[in-house]
Homo-oligomer: A and B are copies of this chain.
Amino acid sequence: LIRFLTVKNIINIIAEIGLETCFIHLTQLLQQEFSRWQSFEKMPRIASHFPYGVIELMPIHDEQFYAYKYVNGHPTNPQRGQLTVIAMGMLAEVSTGYPLLISEMTLLTALRTAATAALASQYLARSNARSLLIIGTGSQAEFLVLALKAVLNIQVVYFFDIDQRALEKFARNLMGYQIELRLCNDVKKIIKKVDIIVTATAKKGQTLILENSWLVPGLHINGIGGDCPGKTELDPAILRRAKVVVEYLQQSKCEGEIQQLDEYSCVELWEIITGKKTGRESNDEVTVFDSVGFALEDYTVLKYFYNLSKEMGIGEEIDLIPKVDDSRNLFSLLCTRHPKFHN
């Protein structure tokens, strides 16, 4: 029997260990997995584009585990009361090919995206960073803010959105989290007061959420919302000026903010983590983490929740593997149950 984690199972696991602890663990695990980058067989995700959205498969493996995620992105789903992104994933054992875990990954994707931004920020934000501005308070926003708070010492969060209800939702959800929340009406003005900016808008197309002329020295930017061909948030001048870190160049050059550039000298996250390249080099440097989401992050969160589910005894078991006495006798499964074969 294979382990299956439902949405409710994931909620219960997070409730049990606590979201802050979850983010701290996940950031540590991501650091460990990214530091053994060469152990993984990697490929850009396999995307199918439609007029109304995208469907992707994201596989990766090392010598022990094979992981993949199915995920969509349909920006008009909310108009019909549906989620933009739904995801599910599998962790399998490489030595036998047998699935170990099937899990919902809509929540897990939000967790791993946020934890990866937190990990990158540990290497790229100034060590005395205390405040951030988040632009776009949609479905990823609270996860991003709380992950950054969990691993850095964030005390003040400015938040901006063009949608009043998204602002209210964000503020309501984060009440009680010991964060000083400050509504931002003027992005350009607030930028001067913050150490970190997170851009996480849902808008399709090449938008200019941040202009280069607005920036001040020392900023770190987590660019989350530029994540597929044709969808970017940052002024390309920022990318030319800043140290830009990506997850996996081969994928990011098509999907990330850097798709706006003809040439780039960016660094992969694992290179900073292993010390092959340097992260932030001065307090004046502007840095960008150009996040698009990579299969290694799914691998990490699946392995983490697989272990948690075993330790905590949370999860369902599903009947996905045929049980036969003789492995060559698959047909025996049908032998007692085909009364109508002869018609």
Is residue A31 within 8 Å, beta carbon to beta carbon, of the partner chain? no
Known: A326-B169, A334-B11, A342-B20. A86 touches B74 (CB 8 A): no
Q: A92 near B55 (CB under 8 angstroms)?
A: yes
- Contact bitstring A60-78, B, C-beta under 8 A = 1, else 0: 0101001010101110011
Known: A83-B321, A326-B169, A327-B83. A343 touches B21 (CB 8 A): yes
B residues near A72, Cβ cutoff 8 Å: 92, 96-98
- Contact bitstring A309-341, B, C-beta under 8 A = 1, else 0: 000000000111111101111111111011111
- Contact bitstring A38-82, B, C-beta under 8 A = 1, else 0: 000101001010101111010101010010101011100110111
The bracket for how many chain A residues form the interface is 35 or more
**In the bound complex, what is the Cα–Cα distance between A16 and B92 (angstroms)?**
32
Q: B343 near A20 (CB under 8 angstroms)?
A: yes
Q: A320 near B92 (CB under 8 angstroms)?
A: no
* Cβ 8 A contact of A110, one of B7, B330, B335: B330
Q: B20 near A48 (CB under 8 angstroms)?
A: no
Q: A94 near B322 (CB under 8 angstroms)?
A: no
- Give min CB distance, A6 to chain B, whole Å: 4
Residue of B nearest to A326 (CB): B169
Residue of B nearest to A12 (CB): B337
**In the bound complex, what is the Cα–Cα distance between A57 and B58 (angstroms)?**
10
Q: B318 near A4 (CB under 8 angstroms)?
A: yes
Is residue A282 within 8 Å, beta carbon to beta carbon, of the partner chain? no
Cβ contacts A to B, 24 pairs, < 8 Å:
A7-B323, A14-B334, A18-B338, A18-B341, A19-B334, A19-B341, A20-B340, A20-B341, A20-B343, A21-B343, A43-B46, A46-B59, A48-B66, A53-B96, A53-B97, A54-B97, A72-B97, A83-B321, A88-B320, A110-B330, A138-B328, A139-B329, A169-B328, A176-B342
Q: B82 near A98 (CB under 8 angstroms)?
A: yes
Is residue A107 within 8 Å, beta carbon to beta carbon, of the partner chain? yes
Which of A323, A338, A342 has the largest number of chain B CB atoms within 10 A? A338
- Give min CB distance, A20 to chain B, whole Å: 5
* Chain A residues touching B, majority SS: mixed
- Give min CB distance, A291 to chain B, whole Å: 17
B residues near A82, Cβ cutoff 8 Å: 96, 98, 327
Q: B104 near A320 (CB under 8 angstroms)?
A: yes
- Give min CB distance, A323 to chain B, whole Å: 8
* Cβ 8 A contact of A328, one of B19, B74, B166, B178: B166
Residue of B nearest to A145 (CB): B331
- Give min CB distance, A253 to chain B, whole Å: 20
Is residue A212 within 8 Å, beta carbon to beta carbon, of the partner chain? no
Within 8 A of B (CB), among A289-318: 318
Known: A55-B92, A57-B68. 19 other contacts (CB 8 A): A14-B334, A15-B334, A17-B340, A18-B340, A19-B334, A20-B341, A20-B342, A41-B48, A48-B61, A55-B61, A55-B97, A57-B59, A68-B70, A72-B96, A83-B321, A83-B330, A86-B321, A107-B334, A140-B330
Residue of B nearest to A68 (CB): B57
Known: A6-B319, A7-B322. A331 touches B15 (CB 8 A): no
